[in-house]
């Protein structure tokens, strides 16, 4: 199918679609190759800080070109942009979806910046994800995490005042590696799901249990973000492969091993999010 929007990719099956952070050619190839081998849709995403690094616009172009040539449905996605300018940059590069993250703002300001992005994106057929409730950092204590969670009473106003294709929620999930077992507030998720009229998104997927994933998908989560696990998988493969013959400085074999490691990890996640989760319900 090639390049598709976020709206389109979330309708292909009744499970959730994995969204995986991309950092270079090999991680991009691994992510998209996984989708092709499984015959499942995938979201290849790049964070706003990564895209804004000098020279990384070329990486964005590579992601779009790989998606267009893919036999699998691929959404090329800008993750966690806090400003309109970066969203416009991604749209001009050919991305099929952008996320505007106004979660650090007041509800009214979040609505305002989200509407600025959707006004631009809608004109060129690009999907938009927004976030309501800030994602906690792994360094935050429980009181801070609770204060940052999505307030269900804000969901109706936000969605009725905006035109987004998906909504990222904060229910105890966090970026990075969790310290101890993560605790997700599924009661809060259910309240949000009862109100929301768009698919829900779970960020901070690295470290969550399969049981938590399964329950989340069953309650309306349609997109799951995996970032740290991509980095860990890639670097672990780099280290282990380079140990075989350190003197070779193998700039061909090592990156290919990293690509294959990412591919296998993504294949497992795509399969579970799409179908495997049902076995745990």
The pLDDT of residue 61: 98
Residue 71 CB coordination number (10 Å): 12
Residue 115's domain spans which residues?
A: 2-280
The pLDDT of residue 178: 74
* CATH value at residue 273: 3.20.20.70
Domain tally, the chain: 1
Decide if 140 is catalytic: no
pLDDT tens for residues 22-71?
A: 999 999 999 999 999 999 999 999 999 999 999 999 999 999 999 999 99
- Active-site residue among 14, 79, 140, 163? 79
Convert 241-278 to b/e letters by CB count within 10 Å (16 or more is b): beeeeeeeeeeeebbbbbbbbbbbbbbebbbbbbebbe
What residues in the chain have per-residue pLDDT under 70? 136-147, 179-180
pLDDT tens for residues 98-125?
A: 999 999 999 999 999 999 999 999 999 9
The pLDDT of residue 141: 42
The pLDDT of residue 147: 52
Which residues are within 8 A (CB) of 106 and not within 5 positions of it... i.e. 6 or more apart?
none
Contact 136, 170 (CB under 8 A): yes
The pLDDT of residue 165: 98
Q: Round to whole Å and give the CA distance between 130 and 107.
A: 12
């Amino acid at each position: 199918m090639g390049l598709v929007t976020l709206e389109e990719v979330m309708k292909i099956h009744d499970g959730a679609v994995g969204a995986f952070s991309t950092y270079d050619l090999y991680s991009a190839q691994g992510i998209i190759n996984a989708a092709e081998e499984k015959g499942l849709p995938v979201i290849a995403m790049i964070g706003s800080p990564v895209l804004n690094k000098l020279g990384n616009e070329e990486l964005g172009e590579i992601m779009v070109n790989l998606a267009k040539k893919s036999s699998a449905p691929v959404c090329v996605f800008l993750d966690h942009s806090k400003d309109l300018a970066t969203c416009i940059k991604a749209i001009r590069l050919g991305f099929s979806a952008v996320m505007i993250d106004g979660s650090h703002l007041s509800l009214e300001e979040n609505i305002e910046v989200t509407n600025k992005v959707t006004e631009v994106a809608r004109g060129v057929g690009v999907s938009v994800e927004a976030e309501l409730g800030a994602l906690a950092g792994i360094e935050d204590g429980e009181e801070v995490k609770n204060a940052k969670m999505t307030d269900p009473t804000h969901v109706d106003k936000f969605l009725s005042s905006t035109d987004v294709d998906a909504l990222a929620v904060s229910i105890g999930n966090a970026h990075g590696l969790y310290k101890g077992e993560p605790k997700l507030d599924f009661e809060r998720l259910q309240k949000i799901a009862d109100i929301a009229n768009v698919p829900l998104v779970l960020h901070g997927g690295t470290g969550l249990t399969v049981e938590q994933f399964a329950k989340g998908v069953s309650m309306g989560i349609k997109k799951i973000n995996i970032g740290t696990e991509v980095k860990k998988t890639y670097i672990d493969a780099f280290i282990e492969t380079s140990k075989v013959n350190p003197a070779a400085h193998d700039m061909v074999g090592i990156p290919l091993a990293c690509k294959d490691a990412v591919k296998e990890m993504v294949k497992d996640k795509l399969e579970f999010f799409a179908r495997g989760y049902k076995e745990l319900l």
